[in-house]
Amino acid sequence: MANTASTEAAGAAGAHDEGAGRRDFLFLAGGAFGAFAAGASAWPLLDSLNPAKDTLAASTTEVDLSPIEQGQAITVKWRGSPVFIRRRTAKEVAEAKAVKPDDLPDPQSDEQRFGSGAREQWLVVVGVCTHLGCIPLGQKDTDNKGEFGGWFCPCHGSHYDISGRIRKGPAPRNLPVPPYTITAENKLIIGKEQPKDGPGGTTA
């Protein structure tokens, strides 16, 4: 290598310049290719850490809603996390709708979350505190439901209202509403977006 270089350097001035240009080009092209190769081989390794196909495949959960009474709540597992389902009373729905979204830390109306009509009585939220992931209390009648009558996260004291919206405490966002469908047979499919104006009532 060194020999070749010095032989070249000893050659004519013009040839030398040409050689230098070629070397620069080869260096840059080689470097770029190397960087690309490194990135391309790192990607499969990195992407292998993302949710695998079987994990993604297990991403809908079905629930029969018929046995649930007004004011009753159940918890089901969807994608490894609890989903809170609550059949709200008319009073609770009215209470949720009475709040002005602008006054909230994460402004969202109850209608934006759960639609209207027959659908609005069903509250469906991922029961994972948006602060650091604890499961809030409030599914059982005996639970502490916090200052806004919905859910209370005991980990660092976040209060959610009856629409699952954050009202007080360190959590930044409302309890997320998963995509869900309510079928004509009163079946709930969590993980599947409701077709617009489906049988379960109007979505927002």
Partner 1 sequence: MPIVSMVEHSLYYPVPRNLNYMWNFGSLAGLSLIIMIVTGIVLSMHYTPHTDYAFDSVERIMRDVNYGWLIRYVHMNGGSMFFIVVYLHVFRGLYYGSFKSPRELLWWLGVIILFLMMATAFMGYVLPWGQMSFWAAKVITSMVGAVPLVGESLMELLWGGFTVDNPTLNRFYSLHYLLPFVIFGVVILHIWALHTVKANNPLGIDMKGPQDSVDFHPYYTVKDLFGTGVFLLVFAAFVFYAPNYLGHPDNYIQADPLKTPPHIVPEWYFLPFYTILRSFTDDWWLFQILLGWWGMEAKLAGVLAMAGAVAVLFILPWLDTSRVRSAKFRPLYRVFFWLFVIDCLILGWIGAQPAEQPWTAIGQWATLWYFAYFLVMLPLISRIERPRPLPHSISQSVLGGGGGAAVAAAASPMEKSR
Is 156 a catalytic site residue?
A: yes
Q: Which whole-number Å values give the CA distances from 176 to 19, 81, 115, in the listed order?
A: 63, 12, 14
Q: Residue length, the chain?
A: 204
72 contacts 139 by C-beta, under 8 angstroms? no
**Which of 154, 198, 199, 201 is in the footprint of partner 1 by CB under 8 A?**
154
Please state the closest distance from residue 37 (CB atom) to ligand FES, in A. 42
Letters for 65-104 (x = contact with partner 1 by CB under 8 A, - = none) are: ----------x-x-xxxx----------------------
- Does residue 42 interact with partner 1 by CB under 8 A? no
Residue pair 176/182 in contact (Cβ under 8 Å)? The answer is no
199: closest CA among 180, 175, 183, 176?
A: 183
Q: Does 204 bind partner 1 (CB under 8 A)?
A: no
Binding of partner 1 by 51 (CB under 8 A): yes
Out of 128, 175, 188, 190, name the contact with partner 1 by CB under 8 A. Answer: 128
Q: Which residue has the tokens 């976040």?
A: 158
Q: Which is nearer to partner 1, 76 or 199 (CB)?
A: 76
Whether the CB-CB separation of 66 and 186 falls below 8 Å is answered with yes
Residues that bind ligand FES (CB under 6 A): 129, 131-134, 153, 155-158, 169-171
